[in-house]
A and B are shown apart, each in its own frame.
Chain A
């Protein structure tokens, strides 16, 4: 498979056009490596070749990073076993050596960048002697590897700091932040920004005019890293000493890649380039050898993209994009959904009982759009988008809508009434979605004459920011409804998961256990600061008590009371029930009334309330933080496993994506199911048995987990591990 089209012109300038067949974007795979190897050999050895330019043959951009299938194959050897870091090093160092050969070929090499140039593609550009970029708002450059648990492994961690200075380069690499062309030029990361479509000519001209410009700055004797580097440079020392706590603030001690990146820069920056890239490859191999990177890549990249491309969509259903959305309820959720729908080009009828509420909802849309002015939003586009939103109190205005989403008050009776009225206007063939977060979809579907056309579409707040939509299937929900809902989610560019009906569905139900376990710990007299820190150390975005205050303790009690009423004797009492009630009885409702687990003094930072010490006397013996972390983690894991066993979840992919993007479950794990697989189901069961014995049956492992442990099976099939890794 040919990936590089190699030509030479009358001036002796070679042109390498990268065009990897069968890919929408150029990626680095074995064929490309072989072709680049051969091209470098020609450039270096043929006297008639005076220099070379590298460009892309694709409209999508210059090049992205490694082909993940190829990368995955490096991480698995033999019987699905993970290879040792030394074996991975041998493979990943090949790329580094190749780029090094390119920059030391003895001929000037320039690259022409039009469009996306990220990861390994950007590292290829950094190994060229000159970088020309076509100016376009679509052009992005950068090294985002950190976002999927890796760090730049094609020389990027060594070349970028030598070009732009250590501190600035770390800011980009540690956050996976992208450069716009102008910023890149300002920071000398690229040499020249030229009008779109002219980068190749500019690159060629430069090579022609500079036949001797074939040495990288770092290969010139006396080279100094901009801003200085090394143990005797105070600025460098300060940067390094500060980088660790700054990284820990974001990752606690959970992510391998950022610290490895820092070490690669720290140890490599004063070395000659040949040795520097070897240091980089060694740290890269160490990170890649850990399951963390594969787990993160699988969930955050591969499976997330697959979900967005319709992995769960019924194959036989025709595309059914929504043109006109009937949005019922203009409260916070309704207005948020209206915003993203209008932005995606849909007409939105924003219905509420009261015209003032409906108008207020539209005002929210306007406020969100205004904030985006200058950031991809123009005044014209804003006017146009706003014009698509029609606030109304008249059911008749819903006519012509091809999709309905209901976000009215969380009450079965009220919802049923609204549902019936909508059916009178639109008919039961229209797909009806409910944004309920707690009420059973199967029950709500009774109000729609064709329950097969009724589906749950659970959004998260704030809608504009939260990436996930949880699609919930009632007992009778049919394929047309699923297709419609998933097409809608694709239109608004969010990530869907598909689950089955259950109290709290998948995300609210599982997330709830995190809060409940936090409350139980308080009830046992565990130091609340320890609980909160344990939650954060676990990799959750906030402690269980802080998040409980945010969603309100009162709401938790309401949901619990409703469940009790409905289930009667079947209700399984939780230890946290009484504790939550004790809190609300004491008037501690959460952040909304300034009094919850925390106190919220005006004009000062919130702090854990001393009242907790009086209400729940501190136990004389306090647990170790690891024990608290374990309870907060395993309480979630077992609930996720129950969802899987009960059929609420059909796939571990949904479970992992939903956990990370729905309630911020520790992203470094790749999700609860990836985590259980990595720990080993037998180990998970042993831990759960121990926790159940010590803390109660809520931790008891399910039969399915026991069976899996006995048979040595995993949630993900070994094959999917390989493909994903």
Chain B
């Protein structure tokens, strides 16, 4: 059994603040609109959809209680369509697609939708608590430190300077701007509408294309106080990485992913189901994988999951034409490029989350769609897409254009 991607759709990303365009749109609405679009763009009878899997990282409050099932109902899917919400932190959106694909591969599903949603302006990050940070015995045993500390440890350990990180961020902004200017995302973008049908957002509004080394240089590091003063998470970092004299805090709002609202969905299906609706598969799924890595540094998973993916697919690095890694923090991508020996020209060619934002639960499905669009635009064959993940994980996928 093979699994194919038939469609990928995403909302634009709204600034995740009170003045963000999507702040008035509830997360259930964001999820509903992308599910409606998948159905309508492909003219499918939703009774043929065997599951809807949505990633969501803060599944509480209005994102709680299995938002996937409720969104399917709200989108007028057949009531026979089940839904499940999953959480693999920042990779939830891709993990949802991987699970959907796994259901197709196994024959459990003929059509399955994987995607994600996060309204970070309405349900703030970390609203769901969790034992890792707050249970002293657990935090102690597993060396808990917040993600930003891990990103700064990556920079320190692998010799990535503040200038390196800022230069990467400036380039991300430049690429995102060019991609928007040339309409490279238009296949996937679904403008978000309000209750009376007006478009409230049709573009990624977090971007700062005018960012320069100078403008970024004036920003204060975001995690220095948390690390060095109160409560002093650098202590924990040095306990785990005693080879470091101190942690170099290089990350700030300008070279880290933006806090935004958004949703995305990817339609995965079998060959037969595509034939039934006369749909042309856009890509074949070659391999899916997740891994666990050291949790304090937290965000070095991508290199390991890339290795696992290539091995699974029986491919080498040179077989990959296009690389996409979520820009959680500049150091994450820079370290990945170092570890994989990748030139910047081959990765994140249309920018990423530093410019456009990272709606936690949805991003994984968004970056997959971005890579798919780019393969088609550039005529390239294969893409390896992955994300670093909280608590030390990595999730990735290899796709091949048809």
A interface list, Cβ under 8 A from B: 231-232, 236-237, 240-246, 248-249, 252-253, 259, 262-263, 266, 527-530, 532-534, 537, 607-608, 622, 625
Contact = CB atoms under 8 A, between A and B. Distances in A.
A237 B135 CA distance: 9
Contact of A529 (B135, B136, B235, B245): B245
27 contacts: A231-B129, A237-B134, A240-B133, A241-B133, A241-B134, A241-B231, A242-B230, A243-B136, A243-B231, A244-B144, A245-B145, A245-B231, A245-B233, A246-B230, A248-B232, A249-B232, A253-B239, A262-B136, A263-B136, A266-B135, A266-B136, A529-B245, A530-B243, A534-B242, A537-B239, A607-B246, A625-B242
Interface in B105-154: 129, 133-137, 139-140, 144-145
Contacts of A622: 243
Query: Chain A contact residues: over half helix, strand or loop, or mixed?
Result: helix
Contacts of A534: 242
B140 A244 contact: yes
Contacts of B239: 248, 252-253, 533, 537
B340 interface: no
A259 B145 CA distance: 16
A248 B235 contact: yes
Contacts of A246: 230-232
A240 B136 contact: yes
Given A243-B231, A529-B243, A529-B245, A248 B236 contact: yes
Contacts, number: 81
B244 interface: yes
Nearest to A534: B242
A242 B242 contact: no
Nearest to A625: B242
B238 interface: yes
The 10 closest A-B pairs by CB, nearest first: A242-B231, A262-B136, A533-B242, A529-B245, A625-B242, A241-B133, A240-B134, A245-B231, A244-B139, A249-B235
A608 B244 CA distance: 11
Contacts of A248: 140, 232, 235-236, 239
Interface in B23-62: none
Contacts of A237: 129, 133-134
B244 A529 contact: yes
Nearest to A607: B245
Contacts of A266: 134-137
B362 to A, nearest CB: 25
A607 B247 CA distance: 12
Given A231-B129, A245-B232, A527-B243, 13 more contacts: A232-B129, A241-B139, A241-B231, A244-B140, A245-B235, A246-B232, A248-B232, A249-B235, A253-B239, A259-B140, A266-B137, A533-B238, A537-B242
Interface residues of B, number: 23
B242 A245 contact: no
A236 B134 CA distance: 9
A240 B134 CA distance: 5
Nearest to A531: B242
Contacts of B232: 245-246, 248-249
A263 B133 CA distance: 13
A248 B136 CA distance: 11
Contacts of A529: 242-245
A533 B243 CA distance: 8
Interface in B240-263: 242-246
A214 B137 CA distance: 35
A241 B139 CA distance: 8
Contacts of B140: 244, 248, 253, 259
Contacts of B243: 527, 529-530, 533, 622, 625
Contacts of B231: 241-246
B46 to A, nearest CB: 37
Contacts of A242: 230-231
Nearest to B131: A231
A382 B230 CA distance: 39
Contacts of A530: 242-243
Which of A237, A248, A528 has most B Cβ within 10 Å?
A: A248
A262 B246 CA distance: 27
Contacts of B244: 529, 533
A77 to B, nearest CB: 27
A87 B20 CA distance: 60
B55 to A, nearest CB: 23
A242 to B, nearest CB: 3
Contacts of A245: 145, 231-233, 235-236
A253 B238 CA distance: 12
B208 to A, nearest CB: 30
A240 B140 CA distance: 11
B230 to A, nearest CB: 7
Contacts of B136: 240, 243-244, 259, 262-263, 266
A724 to B, nearest CB: 28
Nearest to A629: B242
Contacts of A527: 243
Contacts of B238: 533
Nearest to A626: B242
Interface in B246-293: 246
Which of B129, B134, B144, B233 has most A Cβ within 10 Å?
A: B134
A654 B139 CA distance: 38
Contacts of A252: 239
A259 B133 contact: no
A379 to B, nearest CB: 38
Nearest to A252: B239
A423 B144 CA distance: 64
A625 B238 CA distance: 11
A231 B245 contact: no
A263 B135 CA distance: 7
A263 B136 CA distance: 6
B242 A231 contact: no
A131 B129 CA distance: 37
Contacts of A528: 245
Contacts of A249: 232, 235
Nearest to A262: B136
A526 to B, nearest CB: 10
B245 A532 contact: yes
Contacts of A232: 129
Contacts of B233: 245
Interface string B360-396: 0000000000000000000000000000000000000
Nearest to A528: B245
A248 B280 CA distance: 58
Contacts of B145: 245
Contacts of B129: 231-232, 237
Contacts of A240: 133-136, 139
Contacts of A607: 245-246
A678 B137 CA distance: 24
Contacts of A243: 136, 231
B401 to A, nearest CB: 44
Contacts of A241: 133-134, 139, 144, 231
A590 B10 CA distance: 61
A603 to B, nearest CB: 17
A529 B244 CA distance: 6
A241 B236 CA distance: 12
A231 B235 contact: no
Which of A245, A528, A530 has most B Cβ within 10 Å?
A: A245
A228 to B, nearest CB: 13
A532 B246 CA distance: 11
A237 to B, nearest CB: 5
A263 B137 contact: yes
Contacts of B230: 242, 246
Which of B144, B238, B244, B246 has most A Cβ within 10 Å?
A: B238
A634 B233 CA distance: 30
A247 to B, nearest CB: 8
Nearest to B144: A244
A263 B134 CA distance: 10
B250 to A, nearest CB: 17
